[in-house]
Amino acid sequence: MKNRKITFGILGIIIIGIILFILNLFVGSVTVPLEDIFKVLLKENTDNTLNVIIFNYRLPQALTALLAGAALAVAGLLMQTLFRNPLADPSMLGISSGASLGVGIVILLTGAISGTAVSSFGWWSTIGVSLAAFIGAVLVLFVMLAFSSRMKDMTTLIIIGLMIAYLAGSITDILKFFSLKEDIHAFVIWGMGSFSGVGTSKMPIFATSIIIGLFVTFFLSKNLNILLLGEMYAENLGLNIRKNSVIIILVSGYLTAIVTAYCGPIAFVGLAMPHIARFLFKSSDHRLLIPATMLIGMDMALICNLIARMPGFDGNLPVNAVTALIGAPIVISVILKSRK
Amino acid sequence: MKEILKTKSLSIGYEGKTVVSDIDVTLNEGDIIALVGPNGAGKSTLFKTFSTHIKPVGGTIELFGKDLMTISPKERAKLLGIVLTERPDDMFMKVYDVVAAGRYPYTGMFGKLSENDEKEIKVSLELVGVNHLINRVFNTLSDGEKQKVMIAKAIAQNTPVIMLDEPTAFLDYPSKIELFSLLKKLAKEQHKAILFSSHDLELLLRYTDNLWIIAKNKPFAAGQSSELLKNGVIKEYFGLKDADNQYLLNEIC
């Protein structure tokens, strides 16, 4: 593919992203006229309700979608290249399941011990849930890192990751069985995923941690490119296989853990976005694929967030209900188009 | 002749289980050596040991007088290149990308290719005669073309030693002959030391000067092809019938 085509492609994805971002501020249960949005953004607006809607709800939500989409998509790309498996995604490391288990323990055990639902603890409960998800995800991540530092064989590593995911899922199910009804409801809601959990207060820490992770991935492109030849060739070209897989799993797991902690386990984005990037640019070069996958992940998350908050749906649809519904047809059409 | 690689009472195998022991061989500049032996005798194990994928069970391998295991992976990548039967299978990887990977030991943090790297890629493709394939997707090539591109990768890697595991395995007869002459050209003109494994005994006896023979429960044998045939080593190691051995003797010597 020619350089000019690549530039146009990237620019196109960015422009679509900007339009989607503005639409995200514009559309919701209260429709804000476009001119008012600019007034609010330029701080020329005096209507306080609009200020609150835009600054406290829609802007942080759109930013969360943007960052989470980029993070999950690139985490999926790293997994697919590391395992040389087009079906690999961040959930393969068992990280989302670890996060679910962490949340499960907090939500379900506090209910069992104190006899009241976690949700009754108010603000503390949201912090507790994020923290529990993060701890659960990181614990599983460390287990996976311990295995990957000892193994060169990627197939074995995938199987171990899947087994840990099932193990965590099974314990979560047992916890659910012994829990209060309200708590199970809270847990199910968390599991459906949402970009509204970050808000203004937690945005600085969320954004900083995601941006650091995204930045690091750019330094992995050279190693990811040689991995495409296969592990034996990569090793012969001077790559330390075990050290490299530890780093890739660490970065991918770190991004997934943060997103899952704040937004719940969001499926599909990590699996599908790298494929759109590959087919769109017909490239295997990670120096292009990494930024392209991030940008496409941003666009997709913004589309999903937009659909989930369409005026017709009073309140928010769960993000996980929309990702595949919107994403799958896009992936199929991109693949069919590029085959022509 | 300059000595490049030397093994001293080398034993190879996995996790303490020795497959072949007491290998004492030398690989010199310009050598082209064929490694033969039945499946399961340890050909791949020897390749994996040389490429440091697995550790030797005993003994040492010296590359330019240094213990192979103590050379850093980055340095080693500039000394010893491999071509395996395994192939990259990415849907969009171009021939250019595959050969460019050979330049990775020479590039910086982001793998940006210099003008010199670009030149080396083109020269390598020209040398194996596939420069017209440069923009093709690797996955869509024929087996013979893929083999040549992988060899171009090894040439771009610019190592004094190239090792090829079963390079003739999926090739038709003319491509096999073409490959042998290519390897010979690399050895003679580029002064590389080349080691490759193969099952095509008759072709090897015709086209290569030296053989290393691995067989189960027999000592590792090395020598000139014609000598090994004349003194009956080939007959013994491959379990040839008298008539077949006589046929080879008549044909080749």
Question: Which chain A residues have a beta carbon less than 8 Å from that of B88?
Answer: 228-230, 233
Could you say which of B80, B86, B92 has the minimum Cβ distance to residue A284?
B92
One-character DSSP codes across B32-56: EEEEE--TTSSHHHHHHHHTTSS--
- The residue-averaged pLDDT of B132-161 equals 94
What percent of chain B lies above the pLDDT cut of 70? Answer: 100
Query: At how many degrees (to 10) do helices B143-156 and B173-189 cross?
Result: 10
Between residues 220 and 239 of chain A, which touch chain B (CB distance below 8 Å)? Answer: 221-222, 225-226, 228-230, 232-233, 235-239
Is A155 near chain B, with CB under 8 Å?
A: no
For residue A339, what pLDDT is reported? 66
CA distance B245 to chain A (A): 38
CA nearest A283: which of A1, A9, A38, A73? A1
- The residue-averaged pLDDT of B32-41 equals 89
Question: Which chain B residues have a beta carbon less than 8 Å from that of A232?
Answer: 51, 53, 82, 84, 86
- The residue-averaged pLDDT of B50-64 equals 93
Least confident of A86-100, B9-23, B179-193, B217-231: A86-100
Of all residues in chain B, the one with the smallest CA distance to A282 is B92
Q: Please tell me which residue, A123 or B218, carries the higher pLDDT value.
A: B218
Above 90 in pLDDT, residue B46?
A: yes
Mean pLDDT computed over every residue of chain B:
91
CA distance B98 to chain A (A): 7
For residue B251, what pLDDT is reported? 81
How many Cβ contacts (< 8 angstroms) between chains A and B? 77
CB-based contact A222 B89, cutoff 8 Å: no
CB-based contact A229 B88, cutoff 8 Å: yes
**B103-142 pLDDT tens trace:** 999 998 888 999 999 999 999 999 999 999 999 999 999 9
Cα–Cα distance between B220 and B24 in angstroms, integer? 8
What does pLDDT average to in each consecutive run of 10 residues of chain A (340 residues)? 85 96 83 73 73 85 96 96 86 85 81 61 66 87 85 81 89 84 79 84 91 97 95 93 91 92 88 92 95 97 89 71 84 76
- The residue-averaged pLDDT of B41-56 equals 91
Helix (H) or strand (E) holding A259: helix A241-263
Contact B33, B89 (CB under 8 A): no
CB-based contact A222 B104, cutoff 8 Å: yes
Question: Which chain A residues have a beta carbon less than 8 Å from that of B105?
Answer: 237-238
Question: Which chain B residues have a beta carbon less than 8 Å from that of A225?
Answer: 97, 101, 104, 111
**A36-60: b or e for each residue (b if 16 or more CB lie within 10 Å)?**
bbebbeeeebeeeebeebbeebbbb
Is A287 near chain B, with CB under 8 Å?
A: yes
Q: pTM of this prediction?
A: 0.89
A162's tokens: 């899947």
For residue B59, what pLDDT is reported? 94
CA distance A228 to chain B (A): 6
- The residue-averaged pLDDT of B170-189 equals 89
Of all residues in chain B, the one with the smallest CA distance to A277 is B92
